[in-house]
């Protein structure tokens, strides 16, 4: 995968903006903006079209645009894009990413006040130089300052899914260079943390290849600013502010560097302490002998050799948080972690019956395409009116449609579920007779978030211990980088789930990743079953499951801990048992 449609669309969008900033013919810039939107919606293979020369058959794509798109698709860059960038300082382009400031106004600021960076703009606003421009005023200055402030806050951390997508094209561009032996993402991205501060990329190559590597990295079309361009370390900015570090090391140093830059810092500290006890010093380049150390240094060809030298099993990157991994690795008891291939199906998905965008039939088809053997619908219950929650009559209708689709399927099972709202008093939204009609019930809180820890815990425990409950959905209600979850005594909730044979989900929506991985080892110890649920609102969202798998791996979970790695009949049995049948 080189450049996906979303990234090509982003480059086209930027080209449109660059044209506007340069005061080009408005028809031309508009064509680029329109093409960006068109490309985002294209579902067939762009690379194929680029090779066949059929890009021009797409509406609104003329000869010039077709060439740009073909170049981006096939080579990952475009000469026209590079040329346009030369005509505008990066700081000017950055100004257009501020909320409320379009290219037209930025052009005015650039031309009339010679402002060429966000910092210069902030200074000019503070000195009231902007208010004097025609079409600007004191109110505008205040708004600009506020936009700058919020961009600074917002740009500090990123969702895992966003960072992963941003890193992908850089990794493949670097891997394609002759002389690059290995190239991996390190840091929090490799550890699959729920949010990422910056991307860290590590390249193994001979010194001869370094200039080419640096050039490819710093001039990549998705790079919006070069922060640092050093001999062995470069830092660039991607899009509106995500930073990416790239380090070049010699191939024999790579295992050490990969280990060090994967972190976490806390994991590294413990590694060094353990090395020291064996008379070795460990850093990002090598083992070295301490005065009382062994005569011969351990041979290290790959990362696992470092762990072996310290008497440890290999620790999968996701687990390197200095939480449970050293204890397990020392006992050679690191589990075989769950993998995406182990997943056989999923539940907690929405359809057009409530707030989903795909139909039942489309969701089923997409699940089959993923190679799954079952799928479960869990549309919202009646209380969630804002999300098109289902009245009991609609539930019956949905069940009839499921029966029809099921009748045409062989070897694939559709489970009938609901995402039932937990009311403020902990009772469930549907009455028992409606709940009894589902194969399983996901219970979630969607309103009245303002609770003390005691209130939230009581509400959740009551809901979890309801006879009809099968799975507790997004247990804390948090939205990453957005909303803190309500405070919960999670230990008590996990205990209640364990005692009543209920499951808890890892909601795999990139914004949620809730239950947090830090609770998973306790959940496992208590015997709580875990579901990895996509909370899908479109067919494409079904692949969110892989983010949940990452979180499960961070928590040290194996396939047997995860209900949706089990066979369909065992899942069905679990559903029945969870309500005491």
Please give the residue ranges that form the binding site for ligand DGT (CB under 6 A).
187-188, 193, 196-198, 200, 260-261, 263-265, 268-269
> Tokens 């409606």, residue?
434
- Residues 210-249 close enough to bind Ca ion by CB under 5 A: 245
Q: How many CA atoms lie within 13 A of 154 on its CB side?
A: 12
317 binds Ca ion (CB under 5 A): no
- Rounded to an integer, what is the distance from CA 91 to the centroid of its chain? 28
Q: Which does 253 bind (CB under 5 to 8 A by kind): Ca ion, ligand DGT, Zn ion, none?
A: none
Q: Which residue is nearest to Ca ion (CB)?
A: 187
Residues counted in the chain:
581
Q: How many CA atoms lie within 13 A of 188 on its CB side?
A: 16
Query: Shortest distance, CB of residue 293 to Zn ion, whole angstroms?
Result: 55
Query: Shortest distance, CB of residue 384 to Zn ion, whole angstroms?
Result: 8
Q: Which does 265 bind (CB under 5 to 8 A by kind): Zn ion, Ca ion, ligand DGT, none?
A: ligand DGT
Which positions ≥6 away from 251 have C-beta within 8 Å?
Answer: 181, 182, 204, 205, 206
Rounded CA gap, 555 and 431, in Å? 36
Query: Shortest distance, CB of residue 233 to ligand DGT, whole angstroms?
Result: 12
Q: Which does 269 bind (CB under 5 to 8 A by kind): Ca ion, ligand DGT, Zn ion, none?
A: ligand DGT
Q: Which does 264 bind (CB under 5 to 8 A by kind): Ca ion, Zn ion, ligand DGT, none?
A: ligand DGT
Burial class (CB in 10 A: 0-12, 13-18, 19+), 127: exposed
Structure tokens belonging to residue 17? 């903006």
Q: Which does 316 bind (CB under 5 to 8 A by kind): Zn ion, ligand DGT, Ca ion, none?
A: none
Which positions ≥6 away from 385 have C-beta within 8 Å?
Answer: none
DSSP type of residue 354 = T
Query: Shortest distance, CB of residue 188 to ligand DGT, whole angstroms?
Result: 3
184 or 198, CB closer to ligand DGT? Answer: 198
Rounded CA gap, 335 and 329, in Å? 9
Query: Shortest distance, CB of residue 381 to Zn ion, whole angstroms?
Result: 10
From residue 18, give the alpha-carbon distance in Å to each of 15, 29, 63: 5, 8, 19
Q: Which does 237 bind (CB under 5 to 8 A by kind): ligand DGT, Zn ion, Ca ion, none?
A: none
Are 415 and 375 in contact by the 8 Å Cβ rule? The answer is: yes
Rounded CA gap, 486 and 475, in Å? 9
Query: Shortest distance, CB of residue 143 to ligand DGT, whole angstroms?
Result: 31
Structure tokens belonging to residue 304? 């696992």
- Rounded to an integer, what is the distance from CA 347 to the centroid of its chain? 20
Q: Which does 444 bind (CB under 5 to 8 A by kind): Zn ion, ligand DGT, Ca ion, none?
A: Zn ion
Query: Shortest distance, CB of residue 193 to Ca ion, whole angstroms?
Result: 9
Which positions ≥6 away from 166 have C-beta within 8 Å?
Answer: 158, 199, 222, 238, 239, 242, 244
Query: Shortest distance, CB of residue 279 to ligand DGT, whole angstroms?
Result: 20
190 or 380, CB closer to Zn ion? Answer: 380
- Residues 428-467 close enough to bind Zn ion by CB under 5 A: 444
141 or 198, CB closer to ligand DGT? Answer: 198
Single out the residue of 96, 188, 200 nearest to residue 148, CA to CA.
96
Binding mask 178-207 for Ca ion (x = CB under 5 A): ---------xx---------x-x-------
Handedness of CA 486, 491, 492, 493 (dihedral sign): positive
188 or 507, CB closer to ligand DGT? Answer: 188
Q: Which does 268 bind (CB under 5 to 8 A by kind): ligand DGT, Zn ion, Ca ion, none?
A: ligand DGT
Max CA distance (Å), the chain: 79
Q: Which residue is nearest to ligand DGT (CB)?
A: 263
Query: Shortest distance, CB of residue 7 to ligand DGT, whole angstroms?
Result: 22
Q: Which does 261 bind (CB under 5 to 8 A by kind): Zn ion, ligand DGT, Ca ion, none?
A: ligand DGT
**What beta strand segments (E) does 356-482 contain?**
374-380, 413-421, 440-444, 471-472
Q: Which does 283 bind (CB under 5 to 8 A by kind): Zn ion, Ca ion, ligand DGT, none?
A: none
Query: Shortest distance, CB of residue 280 to ligand DGT, whole angstroms?
Result: 16
Rounded CA gap, 493 and 534, in Å? 22
DSSP 180-211: EEEEEE-HHHHTT-SEES-EEEEEEE-GGGHH
DSSP type of residue 580 = T
Query: Shortest distance, CB of residue 182 to ligand DGT, whole angstroms?
Result: 17
Q: Which does 541 bind (CB under 5 to 8 A by kind): ligand DGT, Ca ion, Zn ion, none?
A: none
Chain contacts with Ca ion (rule: CB under 5 A): 187-188, 198, 200, 245
* Residues binding Zn ion (CB under 5 A): 444
């Amino acid at each position: 995968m080189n450049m996906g449609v979303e990234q090509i669309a982003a480059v086209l969008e930027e080209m449109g903006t660059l044209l506007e900033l340069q005061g080009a013919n408005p028809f031309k810039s508009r064509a680029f903006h329109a093409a960006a939107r068109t490309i985002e919606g294209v579902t067939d293979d762009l690379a194929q079209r680029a090779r066949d020369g059929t890009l021009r058959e797409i509406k609104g794509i003329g000869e010039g645009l077709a060439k740009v798109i073909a170049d981006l698709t096939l080579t990952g860059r475009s000469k026209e894009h590079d040329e346009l960038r030369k005509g505008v300082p990066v700081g000017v382009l950055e100004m257009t990413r501020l909320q409320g400031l379009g290219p037209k106004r930025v052009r005015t600021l650039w031309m009339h006040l010679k402002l060429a960076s966000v910092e210069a703009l902030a200074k000019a606003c503070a000195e009231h130089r902007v208010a004097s421009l025609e079409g600007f005023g004191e109110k505008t200055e205040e708004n600009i300052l506020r936009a700058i402030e919020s961009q600074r806050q917002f740009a500090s951390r990123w969702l895992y899914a966003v960072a992963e997508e941003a890193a992908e094209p850089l990794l493949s561009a670097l891997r394609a260079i002759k002389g690059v032996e290995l190239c991996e993402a390190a840091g929090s991205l490799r550890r699959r943390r729920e949010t990422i501060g910056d991307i860290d990329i590590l390249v193994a190559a001979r010194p001869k290849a370094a200039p080419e590597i640096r050039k490819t990295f710093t001039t990549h079309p998705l790079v919006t600013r070069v922060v640092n361009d050093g001999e062995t370390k470069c830092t660039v900015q991607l899009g509106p502010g995500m930073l990416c570090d790239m380090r070049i090391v010699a191939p024999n140093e790579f295992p050490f560097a990969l280990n060090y830059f994967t972190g976490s810092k806390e994991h590294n500290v413990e590694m060094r302490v353990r090395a020291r006890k064996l008379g070795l010093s460990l850093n990002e380049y090598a083992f070295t002998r301490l005065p009382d150390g062994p005569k011969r240094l351990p041979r290290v060809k790959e990362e696992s050799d470092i762990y072996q030298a310290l008497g440890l099993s290999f620790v999968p990157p996701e687990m390197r948080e200095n939480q449970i991994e050293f204890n397990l690795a020392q006992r050679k008891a690191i589990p075989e972690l769950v993998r995406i291939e182990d997943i056989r199906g999923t539940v907690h998905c929405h359809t057009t019956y409530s707030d989903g965008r795909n139909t039942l039939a489309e969701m089923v088809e997409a699940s089959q395409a993923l190679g799954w053997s079952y799928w479960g619908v869990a549309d919202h219950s009646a209380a969630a009116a804002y999300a098109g929650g289902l009245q009991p009559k609609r539930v019956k209708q949905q069940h009839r449609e499921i029966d029809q689709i099921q009748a045409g399927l062989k070897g694939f099972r559709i489970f009938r579920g609901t995402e039932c709202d937990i009311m403020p008093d902990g009772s469930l939204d549907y009455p028992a007779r409606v709940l009894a009609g589902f194969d399983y019930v996901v219970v979630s809180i969607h309103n009245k978030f303002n609770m003390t820890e005691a209130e939230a815990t009581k509400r959740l425990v009551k809901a979890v211990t309801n006879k009809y409950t099968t799975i507790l959905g997004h247990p804390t209600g948090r939205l990453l980088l957005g909303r803190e979850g309500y405070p919960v005594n999670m230990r008590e909730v996990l205990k209640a789930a364990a005692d009543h044979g209920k499951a808890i989900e890892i909601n795999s929506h990139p914004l949620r990743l809730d239950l947090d991985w830090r609770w998973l080892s306790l959940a496992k110890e208590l015997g709580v079953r875990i579901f990895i649920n996509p909370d899908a609102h479109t067919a494409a969202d079904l692949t969110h499951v892989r983010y949940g798998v990452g979180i499960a791996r961070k928590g040290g979970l194996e396939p047997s801990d995860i209900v949706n790695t089990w066979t369909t009949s065992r899942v069905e049995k679990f559903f029945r048992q969870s309500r005491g049948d």
